[in-house]
Amino acid sequence: MAIRVLMVVREPIASIGLRAILDGAQGIRCTPPSPDDTRNVRAAVARERPDVVFLDVALRREDPRLIPDIVDQHPGTRVLVYVDHSPQECAVRHLLELKGKPHLSPDALARLDDCCLTSLRQRAHGCLGTGVPADAVVKTVRAVATGEIAAAPWLAALAETVQLSTGRESSPISARELEVMTLLAEGLSNKQIAKRLGIREQTVKNHVTRTMEKLGVQNRTEVGLLAARYRMRLVQGGDAPKG
């Protein structure tokens, strides 16, 4: 049976292009387009009962309950979020690969909310950005349809941990907490992290405690091991990015 995809991407050119790619793939079929779908996503999902909803990140941003509601009301439907920037422009990627001491502008922080991390926390099964090759689009849709999380390994790990550890939706992991996690992975002490980031040692302790609660782990070592396992690190000087 073909994978049924509901396309709710606002940008007409992007929507047409993605639809053409998927309709040309074996075993995938997009539902007939409707101009009302992006205005009433819940009704479209209830009507079509798709295997995968290709959801514009702008719709998720405007309606923070949209993804959780789709997942709760339609357990057989997976959500794949279309983000309006390329993987290279991802704010989380910049956070992890920034040379020198990391600082995020207000714009970067705003874009962080548009990124995979927020969507995955809300139980989306993946994210796809602009400029992705056609074969990657098809592969991602197939993976999401089978229940896999289509994201970078460390993002997938964080999403699965946050979604499954407590059985309830947790608070988002902040940009600063991500910074602290990367430095824990390097084996730095709280004092060293505080010096590296230019913050108080007690502030570092608070970040570690909150991150432990959000990830459902018992101690700072587990936080560091999780980050190290997926090679989360801040690149310094001329080092090549990893992970």
Q: What is the pLDDT of residues 189-208, one digit of tens each?
A: 889 989 988 899 999 999 88
| pLDDT of amino acid 29 | 95
Last residue of a domain, one of 151, 178, 213: 151
| pLDDT of amino acid 110 | 54
CA–CA separation, 59 and 57 (whole Å): 5
- Count of structural domains within the chain: 2
Which residues 6+ apart lie within 8 Å of 178 measured at CB? 92, 95, 96, 232
Last residue of a domain, one of 151, 166, 195: 151
Within 10 A of 87 (CB to CB), how many other CB atoms are there?
A: 16
Which residues 6+ apart lie within 8 Å of 165 measured at CB? 215, 216, 217
Question: Does residue 45 share a domain with residue 136?
Answer: yes
Could you tell me the pTM of the whole model?
0.61
Cα of first residue to Cα of last residue in the chain, in angstroms, is 36
| pLDDT of amino acid 175 | 63
| pLDDT of amino acid 93 | 52
| pLDDT of amino acid 133 | 86
CA–CA separation, 125 and 160 (whole Å): 10
Provide the domain limits for residue 129.
Answer: 3-151
Within 10 A of 79 (CB to CB), how many other CB atoms are there?
A: 29
| pLDDT of amino acid 51 | 97
Which residues 6+ apart lie within 8 Å of 206 measured at CB? none
Alpha-helical regions (H) of the chain: 12-23, 41-48, 57-62, 66-73, 91-97, 106-114, 116-121, 134-145, 153-165, 175-185, 190-197, 201-215, 220-229
Question: Does residue 104 share a domain with residue 94?
Answer: yes
Spatial strand order in the sheet of 126-128: 28-30, 3-8, 52-56, 78-82, 126-128
Question: Does residue 76 share a domain with residue 104?
Answer: yes
Question: Does residue 123 share a domain with residue 183?
Answer: no
- Residues in the chain predicted with pLDDT less than 70, given as ranges, are 85-117, 151-175, 216, 224-243
Within 10 A of 38 (CB to CB), how many other CB atoms are there?
A: 18
